[in-house]
Structures are given as C-alpha cells and as structure tokens.
Amino acid sequence: MSRRCFLIVNPTSGSYSPRRIDAVMARLSGAGFSPQLLITGSADDASRFAARICTEETDPFIIAGGGDGTVNGVVNGLVPGMATLGVLPLGTANVLAKELGIGSVHEAVEKLVRQRERSISAGMLEAAGESRYFLLMAGIGFDGAVVEGVRLGEKRLMGKGAYVLSALRVLADWDRRQFTISIDGRDISCHGAVICNASKYGGNFVLAPGAELFSPEFQVVYIRDGSRTAYLKLLMGMATGKISGSGIAVMGGREIIVGGDKAVQVDGDFHCHGPLRVSLVENFVNIIV
C-alpha cells in the first residue's frame, strides 16, 4: 500500500514553477507514494494545512516546499512528536536545507524517496501569552530590528538587498540599550543575542559551530559590546567560520529567558518584541535527512 504524503508549496518562493512541482509529484508517485499537493494562498495556510493533516492522519508525512519561512509555517501546525517532515528547498536562503546537507531540489527529492529520518528538537518561544516553534534560530536585538525594518516594496524589488538597506537604517539609528538574558539560570547583560538550534545563519554562514539540530541544547551567541564594531567582528567571524572577540561569547543552554523589549526574529521572519522565554522541545519531529 502506498504511503500518503502531503506537499505544502508556497508558489511565491523564488524557484517555484508548476513544471518543477509536477516533476516532484511524478517522482514521488513513481517511488510508491501517494502525494497530495496543497498550494498556499496566504502566510497562514502552511500552518493551517499542517494542523489539519495532523488531525486527519495517524502517521502524517508532510513535505514543506518553499523557503525557511514556509518550513516554519508548517512546523507551527505540527503536533509535537507525531509527524515526519521533508524539506523541498524552493526559497532564497534555504538555511534548513543547507543544515541537512541538501543542495538542490533533486537531492531533496531523492532523500524523500529514500526515507531516512532522524528525530530533531525544536525551540518554543513564548511571548505575550502566545507561543511559536522554530527549528533554526531566534534572534533578539540587531537582527530582529533588521528583519522588522524590511520594507515589502524593497523586498519585492531587491530580494536580499532589502535586508541590507534595513541594516543600514538600523546602523544609522543605533540602539545602545542593553538587556538581560538568563541561560539556564545564569544572568548576562548583553546588547544582542541569537538562540541557535542549528549552526548556519543566512545561508551557508556559520554562526554557532557547536549547534546542531540533533543536539538536546541550544547554543546562544550573545554580544556584550553594544558598539557597531562588535557586530562587524561578528559578521567577519561568520564569513571565516571563527566566532571570537572580547565582546562576543557563546554558551549552551536549554532554558532562556530574555528581558527588555527588543525586536525578535524567528527563522528569518519578524515575530515580536521581548520579553520572552525560549525552551527546548526534544523529539519534536522526525525529519528526512
């Protein structure tokens, strides 16, 4: 009996095309699956589709076709510990796909067909009485402000260049305020932080070399120095794969409490302002590797 699978696809993703999706569906069908295609029409559809599938299926196998934002949407519709997740990288950065060693749509499909899977942890961010899961990272401070400040018109026109323009605006109107972050009970004063569930950031840049999806703890990269120079050092460290400097530190942890009201991005999308709490959810989903 063929295994049912559900392909949730964002048609606004950078490398989406009906022909490509038809080929993916044909390959899955030829490999013995019974695929069903669900096309999103709004930002909320991915999580809504995933939640419905988890309600109707006893062994849900869901494939997220899009970028990291689409994957995050699907993740936030899942029942923890219940589903199997596949990734079809159609976005711009595809950080999760890179974390899993997936370099192309073709490679992704072949992994889907082979059905090798591993259980991974997720982060759960709680703020203002609401919660959101993430697989990659939650960034507080500078990168949260950059993502929050991206203008839709610029993004449509310039793609990744819109983030550069937003970063320049954040740099020009520099916020020097510090906030307190508590990592497993240890309080630290810092200017910015990224709670990493995976090592990569923004593509192939390595932000937290010690972080991995299959580890039962986060790696928290925090910036104690509130100067622009500290962030320049961090960017240079990401480019070389060596995060170091007197104003930059990394600490492992499972429970993180963040004070203040700085902007927060989750898996590359603006989410909220602090304060917030982040905890680790082990065995959240089986992912195709």
Q: What is the pLDDT of residues 55-70, one digit of tens each?
A: 999 999 999 999 999 9
Structural domain total, the chain? 2
The predicted pLDDT at position 44 comes to 96
**Which of 115, 135, 150 is a domain's end point?**
115
Give mean pLDDT, residues 99-118.
96
pLDDT confidence bin for 152, thresholds 50/70/90: confident
Whether residue 129 sits in one domain with residue 105: no
Whether residue 82 sits in one domain with residue 48: yes
Give mean pLDDT, residues 204-231.
91
The predicted pLDDT at position 245 comes to 65
CA 198 to chain centre: 9
* Residue 121 DSSP SS3: strand
**Which of 115, 144, 160 is a domain's end point?**
115
pLDDT confidence bin for 230, thresholds 50/70/90: confident
pLDDT digits (tens, 9 = 90+) for 265-289: 999 999 999 999 999 999 999 999 9
Whether residue 98 sits in one domain with residue 131: no
Give mean pLDDT, residues 95-122.
96
Phi, psi dihedral angles at 30 (to 5 degrees): -65, -20
The predicted pLDDT at position 159 comes to 78
Whether residue 79 sits in one domain with residue 217: no
Among 13-27, 126-140, 238-252, where is mean pLDDT lowest? 238-252
Give the amino acid at 54: C
Whether residue 180 sits in one domain with residue 60: no
Whether residue 173 sits in one domain with residue 229: yes
Domain contains 110: yes
The predicted pLDDT at position 234 comes to 84
Whether residue 130 sits in one domain with residue 8: no
Give mean pLDDT, residues 39-51.
97
pLDDT surpasses 90 at 93 = no
Query: What pTM value is reported for the model?
Result: 0.94
Whether residue 154 sits in one domain with residue 30: no
List the beta strands (DSSP E) in the chain.
3-9, 33-39, 61-66, 84-89, 117-127, 130-134, 137-140, 179-183, 186-190, 192-196, 200-201, 205-206, 218-223, 248-253, 255-258, 263-266, 269-273, 276-288
* Biggest CA-to-CA distance, the chain: 60
Whether residue 222 sits in one domain with residue 160: yes
The predicted pLDDT at position 272 comes to 97
- DSSP H or E stretch at residue 267: none
| CATH code, domain carrying 194 | 2.60.200.40
Domain contains 148: yes
Q: Number of H helices and number of E strands within the chain? A: 9, 18
Domain that holds residue 73: 3-115
**Which of 95, 115, 135 is a domain's end point?**
115
The predicted pLDDT at position 1 comes to 64
pLDDT confidence bin for 6, thresholds 50/70/90: very high
Give mean pLDDT, residues 164-188.
95
Q: How far apart are CA 125 and CA 200, in angstroms?
A: 19
The predicted pLDDT at position 170 comes to 94
The predicted pLDDT at position 244 comes to 65
Domain contains 288: no
Whether residue 129 sits in one domain with residue 109: no
Omega cis (within 30) before 216: no
Give mean pLDDT, residues 17-23.
96
The predicted pLDDT at position 117 comes to 96
Question: What does the mean pLDDT of the chain come to?
Answer: 94
pLDDT surpasses 80 at 240 = no
Buried residues in 227-241 as b, exposed as e (16+ CB within 10 A): eeebbebbeebbeee
